[in-house]
């Protein structure tokens, strides 16, 4: 008797099936019941010895190799190599009618031993350079969507291949279907005029169409990767443009030290901050001791769409934020234009304020944005005396403004909701309390403030990716 008996040192029990143990599930899975086979049933079973079959190792090598293929070209090459070894096929021709008129076809593959010049390396990328054929042997072959087994083959002086296939005596031709349409054909050839059988044809029908399906999936996956690469490149370009709109370096403002941090959840984001010199020196340069417009904003969502809205806001504000316009007027102007643009399902929260370096007064208006925090020593307070709806919702919105006067040693902290709404693994938000804890032991210096908040954010979120853009601007009043 050929074969090897199953191992019998598995705790055999006499008789019919008997439960040996029950493992009770602790989750939603049903309990697992272990049973053992009877001794008689085990004695009747054995593993057939296949070690002398030379085809099985070839098949295992081929399917393993094909499973690791990443491109349609690799799938084809590895499959053809394996099948060639397995069946002793001498030549192969691939044909496609995809997107062509009736009766037209393209030869997408032609592999003949000792004729490497006939090989088409990558028909998916070379499709538009392949000649369109009509008539000849292959034109007749593909007229009907039916597999063919041909013995005593005679292909000579063909308009498509000339005498290239004249030495071959038999072939199998199989249509490969795509969404129910025979758009491709697989043709295998052998020199022996009676080599192929009907059984070979049956196997080829299944084999060719299964591999055709794998190839189609690989083509789609490759196209998806290429599309993602193009999109990622475009998004990176958007992100580069967006970063160019941010102030770098930060301006010099008398009596203020500044620091900022800008982190996006994707390559491009919807957060925005900016500084505007409202007073100029006689030479036209910004006046460090004059008035400065300060803006922080957050377009809803994130990614390229939010970045586009942010760029729109940048253009709107830069054309309007002049020395004669109050903070409320600037935000109302931006709101009016964003509403006109009909940025559906998008809005912008913002704070715009004017800081007077001579008087240390900060006059601000707020449109749906988180209130700034002011740190002085161990105490914290919020600039929340005024507020309003986000921009881009109500074109008739009127905003109030408020003026605060600051003293040396105070630090104003502006931030976006990506900071306060950052979540840990338990879905607990960082919150304003997280900012207050982060800066509790900080000196209040602008850089220390920003770094302390970012470090606390990183510890809070852990390894999770950013779910929203995070922007922090700190302004420390110095002596």
Question: Are 384 and 374 spatial neighbours (Cβ–Cβ below 8 Å)?
Answer: no
Query: Which structure tokens are listed for 315?
Result: 């253009």
In this prediction, residue 457 carries a pLDDT of 95
CB-count exposure of residue 152 (10 Å: 0-12, 13-18, 19+): exposed
Sequence length of the chain is: 479
* Cα gap 427→424, rounded to integer Å: 5
User: Where do the domains of the chain lie, and which CATH numbers do they carry?
Assistant: 4-47 (no CATH), 55-222 (3.30.450.40), 246-477 (3.60.40.10)
Instruction: List the end-to-end C-alpha distance of the chain, in Å, as a whole number.
Output: 99
SS3 for 207? helix
* Cα gap 406→353, rounded to integer Å: 14
* Cα gap 350→327, rounded to integer Å: 11
* Cα gap 365→448, rounded to integer Å: 27
Q: Per-residue b/e over 103-127, b at no fewer than 16 CB within 10 Å? A: eebbbbbbbbeeeeeeeeeebeeee
In this prediction, residue 293 carries a pLDDT of 96
SS3 for 196? coil
- Locus of tokens 């004669």: 324
Question: Are 290 and 278 spatial neighbours (Cβ–Cβ below 8 Å)?
Answer: yes
DSSP code of 267? S
Show contacts of 464-468: CB within 8 Å, 24+ apart.
464/423, 464/424, 464/425, 465/265, 466/263, 466/264, 466/265, 466/418, 466/422, 467/265, 467/418, 467/421, 467/422, 467/423, 468/265, 468/302, 468/416, 468/417, 468/418, 468/421, 468/422
Q: Which residues, 6 or more positions from 378, have their beta carbon under 8 angstroms from its beta carbon?
A: 440
Among 297, 306, 223, 224, smallest CA distance to 266 is for 306
* Cα gap 229→131, rounded to integer Å: 30
Among 324, 342, 475, smallest CA distance to 413 is for 475
In this prediction, residue 471 carries a pLDDT of 95
Among 351, 386, 385, smallest CA distance to 369 is for 351
Q: What pLDDT digit, counting tens, does each position of 81-118 carry?
A: 888 787 777 899 999 999 999 999 999 989 888 777 67
* Cα gap 189→196, rounded to integer Å: 9
> Which stretches of the chain score pLDDT less than 70?
1-39, 42, 117, 266-267, 322-323
Phi, psi (degrees; rounded to nearest 5) at 31: -60, 150
DSSP calls for 119-146: --S-HHHHGGGSPPEESHHHHHHTSSS-
SS3 for 419? helix
Q: Is the peptide bond before 452 cis (omega within 30 degrees of 0)?
A: no
pTM for this one?
Answer: 0.66
Q: What pLDDT digit, counting tens, does each position of 133-183 carry?
A: 999 999 999 998 899 999 999 999 999 999 999 999 999 999 999 989 999
* Cα gap 436→376, rounded to integer Å: 11
DSSP calls for 388-417: -PPBTS-TT----EEEEE--TT-EEEEE-H
Furthest-apart CA atoms within the chain: distance in Å: 107
pLDDT-above-90 percentage for the chain: 58
In this prediction, residue 267 carries a pLDDT of 67
Among 108, 60, 449, smallest CA distance to 259 is for 449
Strand 104-111's sheet: what is its strand order?
Answer: 133-134, 104-111, 91-96, 181-190, 170-178, 148-150
* Cα gap 240→237, rounded to integer Å: 5
Query: Which residues of 223-360 form beta strands (DSSP E)?
Result: 256-263, 271-277, 291-299, 348-356
**Which secondary structure element, helix H or strand E, spans residue 312, and what is its range?**
helix 304-318
Q: What pLDDT digit, counting tens, does each position of 192-219 carry?
A: 999 999 999 999 999 889 888 888 888 8
């Amino acid at each position: 008797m050929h074969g090897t008996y199953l191992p019998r040192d598995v705790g055999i029990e006499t008789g019919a099936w008997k439960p040996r143990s029950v493992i009770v599930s602790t989750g939603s899975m049903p309990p697992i019941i272990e049973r053992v086979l009877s001794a008689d049933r085990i004695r009747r079973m054995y593993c057939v010895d296949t070690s002398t079959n030379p085809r099985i190792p070839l098949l295992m090598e081929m399917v393993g190799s094909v499973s690791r293929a990443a491109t349609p070209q690799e799938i084809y090459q590895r499959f053809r190599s394996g099948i060639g070894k397995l069946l002793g096929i001498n030549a192969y021709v691939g044909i496609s009618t995809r997107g062509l008129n009736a009766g037209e076809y393209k030869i997408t593959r032609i592999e003949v031993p000792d004729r490497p010049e006939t090989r088409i390396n990558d028909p998916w990328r070379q499709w538009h350079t392949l000649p369109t054929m009509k008539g000849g042997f292959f034109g007749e072959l593909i007229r009907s969507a039916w597999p063919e087994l041909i013995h005593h083959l005679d292909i000579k002086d063909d308009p498509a291949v000339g005498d290239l296939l004249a030495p071959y005596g038999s072939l199998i031709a199989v249509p490969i279907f795509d969404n129910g349409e025979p758009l491709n054909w697989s043709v295998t050839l052998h020199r022996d005029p009676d080599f192929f059988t009907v059984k070979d044809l049956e196997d080829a029908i299944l084999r060719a169409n299964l591999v055709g399906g794998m190839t189609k999936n690989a083509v789609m996956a490759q196209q998806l990767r290429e599309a993602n690469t193009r999109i990622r490149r475009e998004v990176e370009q958007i992100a580069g443009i967006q970063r160019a709109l941010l102030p770098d370096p930060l301006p010099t403002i008398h009596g203020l030290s500044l620091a900022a941090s800008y982190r996006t959840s994707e390559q491009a984001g919807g957060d925005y901050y900016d500084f505007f010199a409202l007073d100029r020196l006689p030479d036209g340069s910004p006046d460090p001791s004059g008035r400065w417009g300060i803006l922080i904003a957050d377009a809803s969502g994130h990614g390229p769409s939010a970045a586009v809205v942010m760029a729109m806001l940048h253009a709107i504000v830069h054309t309007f934020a002049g020395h004669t316009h109050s903070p409320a007027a600037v935000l109302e102007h931006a709101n009016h234009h964003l509403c006109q643009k009909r940025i559906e399902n998008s809005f912008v929260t913002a704070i715009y304020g004017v800081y007077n370096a001579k008087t240390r007064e900060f006059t601000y208006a707020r449109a749906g944005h988180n209130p700034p925090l002011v740190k002085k020593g161990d105490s914290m307070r919020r600039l929340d005396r005024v507020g309003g709806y986000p921009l881009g919702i109500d074109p008739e919105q009127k905003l109030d403004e408020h003026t605060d006067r600051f003293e040396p040693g105070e630090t104003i902290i502006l931030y976006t909701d990506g900071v306060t709404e950052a979540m840990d693994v338990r879905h607990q938000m960082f919150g304003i309390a997280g900012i207050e804890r982060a800066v509790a032991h900080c000196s209040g210096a602008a850089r220390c403030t920003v770094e302390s908040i970012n470090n606390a954010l990183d510890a809070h979120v852990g390894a999770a990716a950013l779910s929203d853009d995070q922007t922090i601007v700190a302004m420390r009043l110095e002596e």
